[in-house]
Structure 1
Amino acid sequence: MAHQYNYSSQANSRLRQGGAVLILMAFILGLGAVAYLLKAYNADAAKAKQDEKTYQALSAAKQALIAWAVSHPNTPGLMPYPDRNGDGNYDGNSDCYTGVFQYGFLLGQLPTVGQTNPCVTPQTGLGGDWRDSQGNRLWYAVSRNLVHDYEHSESPVINPGMNNPPHAVTPYLRQGGIQSYPWLKVLDRNGNLVSDRVAAVILAPGSPIGGQNRSAFAPNASEYLDSFQKGAAIYNNRAYATADEDFVIGEDSSNVPASDLTFVQPYQFNDKLVYITIDELMATIEKRVGREVGTQLKDYYVASNAIIANRFYPYAAIMGGNKNYSCVVGKLAGALPVAASHSSSCSYTGISATSSTSSCSFAEVEAVIFTKTSLNFTYRAGACQFSGKICTCSGAGTCTRATQ
């Protein structure tokens, strides 16, 4: 009996010791799992914090770029050229070129410092130096529709009529072509179209990836901006070759394991991107125009530079590209009268029944009607038409009875 009791005690002791070892092992394994999870959580949290900082910089730069363009003193909506390495450096200045245009001129770093000759005024910067969370300056690409054409010395016509190119009629014949250009495109990670109405994109390059080397004084765009392949299609942010060039919002490499065969491996991409559509740019331009028009009309009404205030508003102008937008007496609705008053007039001479003549010498009228008291008109010229004794002129022209 005593031997049996001793044996059971020893067995129970060994069982207790084994149980303690298992508990200790489970505890150690649990600590390891917790440490791993904490490490992964901390890495994800750090990555999320870095991305948040980058997108804050991108958003601030976007708002500054819109403000710079909309507040342009001569051409509201005009955007600066990027800072390229064509001059041997990235100095923060916009690099304008008066030679033959190339689309590559429209991709570079964001010109935060300003513009230099030969850039048109204003030669000011965007008012900030925005960088991504890795300390890189932001990059920038802009539509050809929104930059000054230095090769042909002309600025684009920027108004709501340019929202839906291509246009093959004046006033949209700009940048040395026969029509305006399509807008830039932004694609998603699968190559699907996000927007084809993009006026400009701003990119954060992130850390060097895929063998990128930024040790040179002024590296090319390919050392900052990335590309990837999906199937036979290659998507990249490092080139600008056509008017409707596409830029891609790709998936960060940290979210694409090597086992993911959706993309051609190795997949190496970490660009971040925001974009400005022509619609949001135009909406801001229209607000500025509305404010300025209101101010100008108020000044006209008050006429503070006159001894006696006007206390009236100008008549409207005629709509149409062939008008000079001078006000037309009696016209209460139409185009804004932005041109100076004209000195043209309409006249009627009635020396005799056989030689009476009606004539208009300007185009800013909808219709001026002359009525003879006797005999019909027999000949017309220009923008005048007659019917019996009534001559109607919608522009420069003549009605007469004289033989021509």
Structure 2
Amino acid sequence: MRPTRPQPAQARQRGAALMLMLVIVVMGIAAALVGSLSTTALKNARQETTAVALAQAKDALIGRAVSDNNMPGSLPCPDTNDDGSAELLSGNDCPSYIGRLPWKTLDLPDLRDGSGERLWYALSTGFRDDDSARPLNSNTKGTLLIYRADGTNPLTEAGYDAVAVIFSPGSILGSQVRSTAAEQNSAANYLDIANGRNNASASGPFIAGSISDTFNDQLLFITAKNLMPLVEQRVAGEVKRALANYFSDNGYYPWADNLLSGGDNYAANDKTNRGWLPRDAAAGSAPDWAVGSPPQWFFDNQWYALIYYSVAENYTEDPGDCDTCDDNTLSVDGVNGVRTLFFMPGTPIGTLTRNVENLSHYLEDSQNRDHANDLYVTPTSQAADRDRLYWLSSSSIWKP
């Protein structure tokens, strides 16, 4: 007896069923793949939004500090009531040194992180915009310590703790509640704890923790190494302008303060051509600085006490009658004819506390800190936060 062959209709049905099953399997795999890709794409998009917002905030804070007309380098108080504006001082202090980023004060759009939350911000007390924080200059250090994810090893370098920290709080976690106004203004409902470090603490220490089910803060910070080189560029511009105005008014440049101890309150010493830039330029018959040149904040924040200055004998009040001059002109990198020059010091290296009597705390090249001659060199280090030389050539052009 012959075996029964499947009828054509049955074969077609079985084939269709197999095809349908294959289509279902393929669609399932495709759906899973698309879902995975969509989740990854969404996560990446949120991360990109957060990174851009943090970077914008950092740039705005640095720009605000550099351009401030009361205390260049200072920063606004945090926003504690979520209205976008920096809080006014309470006495000599900010009402709180942690709060939201004052985006309106910084002329920013309403920045949000990838979860739709506004950024938070912590400020080092020494950088508040109040007269009681003076002097604020390159010697001023941040005090906000930040740890790596392990909570043990610092992320900030020794001696370079943060001036300000900007936080992306991320979405709500654990027991955090963000319903009422009071809850929305509590840092603990936005900033997290990891390995014993609490980012909701106003003065730190803070932690750049690993993202997990219990921690989703992301942060960016500013140190004096980021900030002060830009502030120093502004200060250098004011010094150039003040020296130009002084020469225009008098036909010569002021004498220097030769007492490196600053014991004479940084007053110019008659017939002394190198030392600290004088706070009081009047020496002998030479007059003081013109009013407003340099500006008052320059004196209030004691920038003169950080700036090493020299003037060539031919451009002093009494050419030929200079007690400390080496030659008629100054020399930079072997080029003579330099009229006057000065150094901006950069930030103190590491944990160093500067001693005004020790030029090596301000100038790194041995030739530049030789207080007995008028031969100078371009600083070897080109790092942004190291000392910088500005000099006026024989053709009256400032370099750089």
Place the TM-score, normalised by the shorter chain, in its bin.
0.5 to 0.7
Are 2:156 and 1:215 equivalent residues in the alignment?
A: no
State how far apart, in whole Å, the 2-side matches of 1:344 and 1:187 are. 56
**1:105/1:13 CA distance change after superposition, 3 Å:** same
Are 2:207 and 1:279 equivalent residues in the alignment?
A: no
Residue 299 of structure 1 is matched in structure 2 by 245
> What RMSD, in angstroms, separates the aligned Cα atoms of the two structures?
3.1
Residue among 80, 85, 98 paired with 1:92: 85
Residue 289 of structure 1 is matched in structure 2 by 235
Residue 52 of structure 1 is matched in structure 2 by 48
The aligned amino acid for 1:209 is: L
Contact 1:315–1:330 (8 Å) recurs in 2: yes
Are 2:166 and 1:202 equivalent residues in the alignment?
A: yes
Are 2:157 and 1:159 equivalent residues in the alignment?
A: no
Identity of matched residues, %? 34
Structure number with the higher strand fraction is 1
1:71-150 map, 5 Å: 71-85=67-81, 90=83, 92-98=85-91, 105-113=96-104, 125-129=105-109, 130-147=111-128
Higher RCO structure (Cα 8 Å, ≥6 apart):
2
Q: Which has the larger radius of gyration?
A: 1
Deviates more, 1:13-22 or 1:30-39: 13-22
Are 2:183 and 1:236 equivalent residues in the alignment?
A: no
State how far apart, in whole Å, the 1-side matches of 2:189 and 2:71 are. 32
Residue 225 of structure 1 is matched in structure 2 by 190
The aligned amino acid for 1:269 is: F
SS of structure 1 residue aligned to 2:118? coil
State how far apart, in whole Å, the 1-side matches of 2:217 and 2:97 are. 18
Q: CA deviation at 1:23?
A: 4.7
State how far apart, in whole Å, the 2-side matches of 1:207 and 1:61 are. 19
State how far apart, in whole Å, the 2-side matches of 1:285 and 1:336 are. 18
Q: CA deviation at 1:294?
A: 1.4
State how far apart, in whole Å, the 2-side matches of 1:341 and 1:184 are. 41
Q: CA deviation at 1:148?
A: 5.0
Q: CA deviation at 1:269?
A: 2.2
Are 2:326 and 1:326 equivalent residues in the alignment?
A: no
Contact 1:90–1:109 (8 Å) recurs in 2: no
Contact 2:148–2:155 (8 Å) recurs in 1: yes
Q: CA deviation at 1:301?
A: 2.1
Are 2:145 and 1:185 equivalent residues in the alignment?
A: yes
Query: What count of residue pairs does the alignment treat as equivalent?
Result: 281
State how far apart, in whole Å, the 2-side matches of 1:12 and 1:249 are. 69
Structure 2's unaligned 5+ residue stretches are 287-322, 324-400
State how far apart, in whole Å, the 2-side matches of 1:29 and 1:188 are. 45
Residue among 339, 353, 357 paired with 2:280: 339
What TM-score results when the alignment is normalised by the length of structure 2?
A: 0.62
State how far apart, in whole Å, the 1-side matches of 2:114 and 2:126 are. 32
**1:20/1:323 CA distance change after superposition, 3 Å:** farther
SS of structure 2 residue aligned to 1:93? coil
What TM-score results when the alignment is normalised by the length of structure 1?
A: 0.61
Q: Deviations over 1:359-398 (max 9, x none)?
A: xxxxxxxxx9xxxxxxxxxxxxxxxxxxxxxxxxxxxxxx
SS of structure 1 residue aligned to 2:172? coil
State how far apart, in whole Å, the 2-side matches of 1:312 and 1:15 are. 108
Residue 252 of structure 1 is matched in structure 2 by 211
